[in-house]
Amino acid sequence: MNCREVLASLSAYVDRDLSGAGGHAIDAHLESCAACAAQLRGLRASLDCLAALPRIAPRESVASRVLDRLEVERRGPGLALLFRPTAASRPLMLPSLVHAAFFLVAAAGIGFALQRPLVGPSAWSRVGTEEYPEVVQVPRVTSAALADGLLSEGAEGSLFFETRLARDGSVATVKLLEGDASEAAPVIEALRRERFEPTRLRGQPVVVSVYRLISRLDVTAPRT
């Protein structure tokens, strides 16, 4: 076996991949050929260096990144955005909710303090105007109520009165709006002596008007 053949078989010789006869022939050649022996030593030394290379490990596992990418691919980017945890997908939403909650609580508190809703249907805000006067409870008569006899013996037609009440419940004025004034005179006197409970709106006494219609009609049952 010559040097060229030995050098061509050195790789297999290092791997002990040669048959018995081939291996022995190379052994014999290497004992007698210093150049080929030096080639073998150089090869083994370089391969030892290669085997001794330190293994390089990743600084962080790629598993989580791979699973994230698979998740995005599986759901699609739009759905992935939707299905992310709320805090992760909308990091500014929670602080905004806190501010919104404070604002609502403050608005409700001010509303209760003023006893007027700050928010609500638009019709509420129109109550109290001329178009939609505020509704108050009908003031109750506390003294000198109108006598039934006066009404039964009085006028035969219809009388329509406006009684304006002061803040303390006393009668300020009585005005005949419709009817015979001569027939209404005793009724007006009686109405002026009446006294009412003070009328309050949102806790405050107010002036109100009470309208009365006094009518006497003959009603006959229809003949059958």
Contact indicator for 218, 163 with CB cutoff of 8 Å: no
Tokens read off for 162: 């406006």
Euclidean distance between CA atoms 176 and 164, whole angstroms: 11
Asked if 72 interacts with another protein (CB under 8 A), we say: no
Asked if 152 interacts with another protein (CB under 8 A), we say: no
Asked if 11 interacts with another protein (CB under 8 A), we say: yes
Helices assigned H by DSSP within 33-180: 34-51, 63-75, 77-83, 86-89, 93-114, 122-126, 148-152
Contact indicator for 197, 139 with CB cutoff of 8 Å: yes
Minimum distance of another protein from residue 124's CB (angstroms): 55
Output Rg (C-alpha) for the chain, integer angstroms. Answer: 55
Q: Which is nearer to another protein, 14 or 145 (CB)?
A: 14
Asked if 58 interacts with another protein (CB under 8 A), we say: yes
Instruction: Give the one residue of 21, 62, 87, 181 binding another protein; rule: CB under 8 A.
Output: 62
Stretch that binds another protein, among 41-49, 88-96, 127-135, 168-176 (CB under 8 A): 41-49
Asked if 121 interacts with another protein (CB under 8 A), we say: no
Angle of helix 34-51 relative to helix 3-14, nearest 10 degrees, comes to 30
Q: Which is nearer to another protein, 59 or 223 (CB)?
A: 59
Q: Which amino acid is at 76?
A: G
What count of other Cβ atoms lies within 10 Å of the Cβ of residue 102? Answer: 10
Instruction: Give the one residue of 54, 77, 203, 222 binding another protein; rule: CB under 8 A.
Output: 54
Q: 214: which strand partners?
A: 159
Asked if 10 interacts with another protein (CB under 8 A), we say: yes
Asked if 33 interacts with another protein (CB under 8 A), we say: no
| Interface with another protein (CB under 8 A) | 7-8, 10-12, 14-15, 17, 39, 42-43, 46-47, 49-59, 61-67, 69-70
